[in-house]
Amino acid sequence: MMYQRRRNTDFIDSITSHRSVRKFTDEKIPSEDLEKILSATRTSSSSSHGQAYSIVNVSSPEKRELLVDLVGNQPHVAISSHFFVFCADLHRINALGKREGIDMKTSMETTEMFIVATVDAALAAQNTAIAAEALGYGIVYTGGIRNNIEKVSNLLHLPELTYPVFGMCIGVPIEEEVADVKPRLPFEAIYFDDEYPTFEKVENYLNEYDLEMKEHYENRLTGKRLNKTWSQVMIDKRKEPRRLDIKDYLKKQGFPLL
C-alpha cells in the first residue's frame, strides 16, 4: 500500500507563530488537554528509543516560589498553570542494568551518553511546546533553572545520573501581554549545501538581520526596548563565562564525561 502523505498547514502555522509567553492568567489547564500535551511528549523521537529523559511537574506552591528566586526572579514560574522541569535521565537505564547484574557505570559516564540524554530531553520538551501551543496555550523555556543547578537538583530530589536541562512554563496567556514574533536568522545564515561556508559568505546576511532585529528591539510590544543589534545583544550576553559551577555539579551527579 502506498504511503498517504498527510498535510496540515494549520499545524505549520502554529509552529511558525511561536513566541515566548511570560504573563499568564490563573486559569489551570484542564486534565484532558494536559493528557493530550503529555501524549505528544511521550511520542517524541529519542536515540535508540532509549527515552533518556524525565519530567518533574512542580505542583507545590512552596517549591514554585522557591524556584522563582532560584531561576533568576521569574514570577511566571509561580503563576503559570504548570511548570515542568525537563531532566536528562540515565538513572533509569543504569538502575535496570544493576537489576540485571550488569555494570553500566563506564558507559553512563561517557560524553556520548550525556549528549544522548540531553538531546532526548530537548526533543521531548519541543514536542511538549508544540502540542501546548497547538491547543492555544503559551509556553516559555526557562534556562535559568541552571542558575542554581545544585539547589534546584536538591529541591527536586534528582538522583545520580540525572540533571535539570531547563524548565518550561505552560499556561493560558494574558492576550495583551503576548510578545510579537521575533524575526529569525535568514536561511542563508543557517542552512548550507554540502559544507559549512566561510564566515565572509554569510556576513552580509547577518548584517541585514542585525538591521531587522534592531528595528524589532526598538519597537517590540513587550520587554525592554533596546537600541542595539542582534550581534551586540548576543555578544553582551555571551562574552563573560556563566554558570561555572555546572561542570563540578555534573561530576557529582555521575557525569565525569569520559
Nearest-angstrom CA–CA distance, 230 and 217:
9
pTM over 0.85: yes
* 17 has pLDDT over 70: yes
What is the pLDDT at residue 176? 66
What is the pLDDT at residue 1? 57
User: pLDDT tens digits, residue range 164-214?
Assistant: 999 999 999 997 666 788 999 999 999 999 999 999 999 999 999 999 999
Residue in 243, 258, 257, 55 with CA at minimum distance from that of residue 150: 243
Other C-beta atoms closer than 10 Å to the C-beta of 46 total 17
Asked if residues 31 and 148 have their Cβ atoms less than 8 Å apart, the reply is no
* Residue 143 DSSP one-character state: G
Cβ neighbours of residue 200 closer than 8 Å, sequence gap 6 or more: none
Residue 2 pLDDT grade (very low, low, confident, very high; cuts 50, 70, 90): low
How, if at all, do strands 162-171 and 53-57 pair?
A: unpaired
User: pLDDT tens digits, residue range 110-131?
Assistant: 999 999 999 999 999 999 999 9
* 143 has pLDDT over 60: yes
User: From its phi and psi, is residue 4 left (phi > 0), alpha (psi between -120 and 50) or beta?
Assistant: beta
* 241 has pLDDT over 90: yes
Domains in the chain, CATH or no CATH each: 13-179 (3.40.109.10), 180-241 (no CATH)
User: pLDDT tens digits, residue range 22-66?
Assistant: 999 999 999 999 999 999 999 999 999 999 999 999 999 999 999
Asked if residues 117 and 52 have their Cβ atoms less than 8 Å apart, the reply is yes
